[in-house]
Structure 1
Amino acid sequence: MTAILPRTLIGTSTPEKRTRVRNRKAWLGVLAWVIALVAFAPIAWMILTSFHSETTAATNPPSLFAPWTFEGWASFFGAETGVSPLPYFINSAVTSLGSTLIVLILATPAAYALSIRPVKKWSDVMFFFLTTKMLPMVAGLLPIYLIAKQLGLLDTTTILILVYTSMNIPIAVWMMRSFLQEIPAEILEAAEIDGAGFFFKFVKIIIPLASPGLAATALICFIFSWNELLFANALTSVSAATAPVFLTSFITSRGLFLAKVCAASFAVSLPVLIAGFAAQDKLVQGLSLGSVK
């Protein structure tokens, strides 16, 4: 004879419990929207300020309903100085994309050796990668400058690509290792039984399965390279100057420059925002896959 169990014991939720769950989800949704709006408020204010004149942009408190003008954007595109921002953006794209590609080529096999086929004392290797991020970047500025000067690499995109590659490899190895550890070992064992070699497994199995992690790692390395200013400002002057260096040229000791800086800041941030929006699905999937927090 089948016993009749209470509804609370067989896992059926009561209407009151379902209502509490819906209310909790609704409040969490409202909280998420509030956090998103607070996080977006500085960006929205920067965009709004870029369409104000320098006089109204510098008022305190700032004027929200001041007349709009394109003076700041005209200055950014060289209306006053005649200097186009295009070469600076090209330099940033070349250095960021070039260094990111090299980082992925070097970090993925290294992460494979530290996860799927771990080398001896792999923990010491990971600790070494971690310690390289503990050194302040300014501490290595003078040696790198002297080396670049001796090699004739000052004011070239080559030196920036080398510097950005060395800066991003540690974080890329750490991220890729966490992603590759999530690949089931049974898949690789089955491929080995079928006679697959290392190159086939790496290209046809590991890379496709780790593509969300590759996308997340590439995006983070691209953002770090695009936003870097210290080495770009010290190692370049005219030919290889990047977009952040061009941005700092609007800050002067005379006159007002807030609207110009806001226009330039949004323009410089726009490629990163577009890249993040385009790769948001892969980024969330990759970060969730590797449990990177």
Structure 2
Amino acid sequence: MTTNVLGRRTTGHRTPQATKARRTNTLWGLAGWAAGILFFLPIAWMVLTSLHGETDAATNPPSLGAPLTLDGYREFFGASTGADPWPALLNSVMASVFSTLFVLALAIPAAYALSIRPVRKWSDVMFFFLSTKMLPAVAGLLPIYLAAKNLALLDNIWLMVIIYTTMNLPVAVWMMRSFLAEIPVAILEAASIDGAGLSTVFRRIIIPLAAPGIAATLLICFIFSWNEMLFARVLTGVRSTTAPVFLTSFVTSQGLFLAKVCAAAVAVSLPVLIAGFAAQDRLVQGLSMGAVK
């Protein structure tokens, strides 16, 4: 027996509604764990396969108890094949980092104009940004290739920086607008009354308050740039090959070397995974901004 704040005695048993709610939450929790495990299994299988030899990796059904080896990683990093992955990895880092920084430099002022200080017909502007993502990427491949050829930009990593910037800018503007719309206008008005200029407002108010949203936008743009392969496959060559394109070099006419491909995929995925784990708190907080009014 327990006593509530009104002095009434209540039993220690849960009500049927509370019991039903707890069972429902338990079922949803189990479903969430099952979905998480289901999505994690291919990654775990890829990592395990990368640690097997080619003979063990090619067996059907696969041998889980096969001896582990790092031969796949040695071959990826050029210990036995002579293929050097570092230029491709550095090109991906350069293209992803610079394009992400350019996207943020353009998206934050644009989102400010579309949310905190809305321009006329801002909804039409947002629809225009969204409409640029409706065109399939392959439809614009030929015009971009011809323009790059005429401008002597083929096999140039800066061309990929420009392309990734234009590809991710609409997504970043949409995300940043929803984040900046959550900033109370009263704070900005108070800062203006105190004599703070636009640069001061950005540096001391907007950027600190929108930091989770900026981190989420930065990470998503970085992932999109890192994983892009269509334009990189067509527009790059020897000097500016990116990591996803380098992965395709492991599929040769001699056959598919499964363990080596898995080792290469794990190595290429590590920067994105490390960035995701490092920014997971900011990412969750940023993606939840704007969800509740």
Q: Which residue number in structure 2 is paired with residue 28 of structure 1?
A: 28
Q: Describe how 1:48-197 pairs up with structure 2 within 5 A.
A: 48-197=48-197
Q: For the Cα contact (< 8 Å) 1:58–1:256, is it kept in 2?
A: no
User: 1:142, 1:50 → 2: CA distance?
Assistant: 36
Q: Distance in 1 between matches of 2:251 and 2:177?
A: 41
Instruction: Give the residue type in structure 2 aligned to 1:87.
Output: P
Question: Whole-Å Cα distance in 2 between the matches of residues 7 and 25 of structure 1?
Answer: 28
Structure 1 contact 55–256 (Cα < 8 Å) conserved: no
Aligned letter for 2:76? F
- Aligned-partner SS, 1:73: helix
What does the per-residue CA deviation read over 1:191-237, in whole Å, with 9 as the maximum and x for residues that have no partner? 12212222211221111111111000000000000000011111111
Distance (whole Å) between structure 2 residues aligned to residue 171 and residue 242 of structure 1: 22
SS for the counterpart of 1:290 is: coil
- One-letter amino acid matched to 1:267: A
Write the letter of the residue equivalent to 2:200: F
For residue 45 of structure 1, what is the aligned residue in structure 2?
45
CA distance in 1 between partners of 2:238 and 2:291 (Å): 42
Counterparts in 2 of 1:62 and 1:96: CA distance versus 1, 3 Å: same
One-letter identity of the residue aligned with 1:154: L
Do the aligned partners of 2:250 and 2:256 also contact (CA within 8 Å) in 1? Answer: no
Structure 2 residue runs without a partner (length 5+) = 1-5
Supply the AA of the counterpart residue of 1:192.
S
CA deviation after TM superposition for structure 1 residue 172, in Å: 0.3
Change (3 A) 1:85 1:129: same
Taking a change above 3 Å as real, the CA distance of residues 60 and 204 of structure 1, as seen in their structure-2 partners, is: same
1:40 deviates by 0.7
Rounded to whole Å, the distance in 2 between the matches of 1:213 and 1:156 is 31
Q: Counterpart of 1:207?
A: 207
Is the Cα–Cα contact under 8 Å of residues 47 and 263 in structure 2 kept in the other structure? Answer: yes
Partners of 2:255 and 2:231 in 1: CA distance: 28
Distance 1:211 1:52 in 2: 42
Q: CA deviation at 1:254?
A: 1.7
Secondary structure of the corresponding residue to residue 158 of structure 2: helix
Q: Percent identical across equivalent pairs?
A: 66
- Return the alpha-carbon distance in structure 1 between the equivalents of residues 9 and 201 of structure 2: 51
* RMSD of aligned residue pairs (Cα, Å): 2.1
Contact 1:76–1:260 under 8 Å retained in 2: yes
Distance, in Å, in 2 between the alignment partners of 1:208 and 1:256 is: 49
SS in 2 for 1:61: coil
Q: State the one-letter code of the partner of 2:116.
A: I
Structure 2 letter corresponding to 1:94: M
Q: Distance in 2 between matches of 1:49 and 1:106?
A: 42
Q: What secondary structure, in the 3-state scheme, does the structure 2 residue paired with 1:249 have?
A: helix
SS at structure 1 position matched to 2:250:
coil
Q: What TM-score, normalized by structure 1, do the two folds share?
A: 0.92
One-letter amino acid of the structure 2 residue matched with residue 219 of structure 1: L
Change (3 A) 1:13 1:152: farther
Matched residue type, 1:15: R
Could you tell me how far 1:32 is from its partner in structure 2?
2.5
SS of corresponding position for 1:15: coil
Q: Provide Cα deviations, 1:75-115, integer angstroms capped at 9, x if missing partner.
A: 11113321221111111000000000000000100001001
Corresponding residue of 2:278: 278
The corresponding residue for 1:15 is 14
Cα distance in structure 2, aligned partners of 1:195 and 1:7: 60
- What is the CA distance between 1:146 and its match in structure 2? 1.4
